[in-house]
Structure 1
Amino acid sequence: MSDGHSHEHQGHHGHPHEHEHHHGHSHGHGNGHGHGNGHRHGHGHHEHSHTPSPLRHRLTHLLRPHSHETADKLDSALESSARGMRALWVSLAVLGVTALVQAVVVVVSGSVALLGDTVHNTADALTAVPLGIAFVLGRRAATRRFTYGYGRAEDLAGIAIVLTIAASAAFAAWTAVDRLLDPRPMQQIPAVAAAALVGFAGNEWVARYRIRVGRSIGSAALVADGLHARTDGFTSLAVLLSAGGAALGWQLADPIVGLAITAAITLVLRDAAREVFRRVMDAVDPALVDRAEGALREVAGVREVGELRLRWIGHRLRAEVAVVVDGEATVRQAHAIAVDAEHALLHAVPRLTAALVHADPAPAPGEADPHLALAHHATA
């Protein structure tokens, strides 16, 4: 067979015992390098569904791997965004109350360490705004201009979060240095200590919630925001040290702890920036690539796996892959192999919602490379 074959799936998969399966097929001449031309047409494939299990099944699914290794698949892209939105607004409410309590204590105590922690908590709460906008945009359907949809808005939100963390670090540093140059006694020391504990409790709860949901739906921006909140919790505990120093009569304890808080914020800034940078640059865990290749090689009719690419679109993955099939296979046979290959990928790769599979014929002795005409388009 000298004709190429491509097959694309747009849909969603959850648990293998609880999913809907939709297929849209596209056929045309293409290759593993991403070149393609020719005709395209769509037609429906099979659809099947099973009655979902109750909440107990869902919780079990999250807590331990399934025997088919699909423990961290999503119910649907839309449900993922809804879970992200819930995580944002719940954590916004918790952090908002936490910051309000701390702000009242700042006014009566004059603690610069608590001020830095309060500002950082406020900034952390407000990061829910760009992330919320990103999740709303991510629900919009693809258009002829934005053919992949709007999922990459999450990456822009991640950049906004990183900039917010950087700004809060700069403010905390400036406030601490100013207090070092102009030391002042701390008032209402017990209230400062209590506010520090409130800050730690609120931030740690939010951190665990955001990180758990972010990892579950594959949102790097939400995970980065959770790491941000976790550092806020530890900086709140550091405020206890400033209160202890002030109780012992050491006025410089407050600004010194403020500088320590700045250093902690800088560390989380580094981690969050690295996570968001990787996502913007289309980085994926190499283990996912190995997993995808292994699943493809198990598909009947696939002789070899060629170029395989994975990329994140928001908190969902897309795949493009070329597989080698029997050169004497008919177009229908090659198409069936491509469907099976895509199906295997959807079950093997967590959070994968779309795959483009291209079938290449196995070379015959003396046969020219069918992609030779495209060689001059190859990039260095």
Structure 2
Amino acid sequence: MDPELLSTSRGLYAVKWSFVGLIATALFQVFIFWFSGSVALLADTLHNFGDAATAVPLGLAFFLSRKKPNKRFTYGYGRVEDLAGLIIVLLIFLSAVVAAYESISRFFFPQPVEFLGGVMAASIVGFLGNELVARFRIKIGKEIGSAALVADGYHARADGFTSLAVLLGALGIWLGYPVADPLAGFLITIAILKIVWDAGKSVFSRMLDGVEPDIVDEIYLTVKKVKEVKDVTEVRVRWLGHRLYAEVNIAVDPMLSVEEGHAIAVEVRHRMMHSLDYLSNVVVHVDPLGSAGESFHRLSEHEHDNLPSHSH
């Protein structure tokens, strides 16, 4: 089977079952909130529903990434996964707004919280449900190289710890401090906003073609191991969803034939694809030593076809 198709199928599998797990967790918490009226539990429940909802755009992105490139989308539909990441960040932020509103409302207009044992049980279930989903998402995400899925897994793990804040709120009420419930809701809101900040940085970095610097260094080292390569002048890497594409400029002996230069480029690509299993495709540009690099491809200022003086 095509490895990229296999990785996409694994991604859909992870999204589907993590969605089921989080929905089951959130529904149990809704049931407990109905009897208890805990605003901290409501905030955590909304957050879990929001986390489950992130599976929808992520699943759609994995589904569309199966489509083959065409004349309009020549690189395929991998960017949809980046758009899904942006939607996920917005959904998480929305859950923070709702949790903050409910916490402020209950702080100024307190309401009794009942069924404290159920609230404690719901918070523990929320923690366990999120931690299981986190482990599942991170495992599959690392297997297929999906940073979005891994990030969503760490997001679920953070959600699990916010569920423990609900437990603290319930313990505070049990000890005679009813204000502990809305305060726990505030703590959860702050935790959600921290997740929004971290996830937002990751998503916007991907949308701006940001990659981990270690990847660039590893590509340099791998290409330089090919003995016919005299120099590596440029390395460009970018993510398209969970697929990583690279472009490298290499310099070779200028006395080689075109056929020999092509053979070296094939060997470089072969070496990179085998050594760096996170790459989906590599484009290798061959230059003669002494004229290698993008600076040698630029055209100095000139005129033609009655156009103003310009350069390329």
Q: TM-score, normalised by structure 2?
A: 0.92
**Counterparts of residues 1-380 of structure 1 (less than 5 Å):** 76-363=3-290, 371-373=297-299, 377-378=311-312
Q: Secondary structure at the match of 1:359?
A: strand
Distance 1:371 1:97, change over 3 A: closer
Deviation of residue 186 (structure 1)? 0.7
Counterpart of 1:186 in 2: which secondary structure?
A: coil
Task: Give the match for residue 306 of structure 2.
Answer: none
1:218 is displaced (CA, Å) by 2.2
SS at match of 2:299: helix
Secondary structure at 1:322 match in 2: strand
Q: C-alpha separation between the residues in 1 aligned to 2:181 and 2:238?
A: 46
CA gap of 1:240–1:372, structure 2 versus 1, over 3 A, is closer
Listed one character per residue, the Cα deviations across residues 102-148 of structure 1 (whole Å, up to 9, x for unaligned) are 00000011010000100110111111100000000101000111000
Structure with greater helix percent: 2
User: What is the number of equivalent residue pairs in this alignment?
Assistant: 301
2:92 maps to a residue whose letter is I
The answer to whether the Cα contact below 8 Å between 1:87 and 1:213 also exists between their aligned partners in 2 is yes
Corresponding residue for 2:307?
A: none
Write out per-residue CA displacement over residues 166-205 of structure 1, whole angstroms, 9 at most, x where no aligned residue.
0001110000000000111111110111111100000011
Secondary structure at 1:356 match in 2: strand
Q: Percent identity?
A: 50
Q: Give, in whole Å, the separation in 2 of the partners of 1:154 and 1:361.
A: 38
How many Å separate the matches in 1 of 2:246 and 2:172? 56
Residues 336, 374 of structure 1: alpha-carbon distance in 2 compared, 3 angstrom cutoff: farther
Structure 2 counterpart of 1:287, which letter? D
Q: Which moved more, 1:235-244 or 1:346-355?
A: 346-355
| Offset of residue 226 of structure 1 | 1.4
Quote the Cα distance in structure 1 between the aligned partners of 2:230 and 2:181: 67
Distance 1:350 1:286 in 2: 17
- Contact 1:158 1:224 (8 Å CA) reproduced: no
Contact persistence 2:298–2:311 (CA under 8 A): no
Letter of the structure 1 residue corresponding to residue 263 of structure 2: A
What CA distance in whole angstroms lies between the structure 2 residues aligned with 1:351 and 1:208? Answer: 21
Report if the CA contact (8 A) 1:218-1:351 is conserved.
yes
State the Cα RMSD in Å: 1.7
Q: Deviations over 1:18-55 (max 9, x none)?
A: xx9xxxxxxxxxxxxxxxxxxxxxxxxxxxxxxxxxxx
Segments of 5+ residues of structure 2 without an aligned counterpart are 302-309
Tell me: higher relative CO, structure 1 or 2? Use CA pairs within 8 A at least 6 residues apart: 1
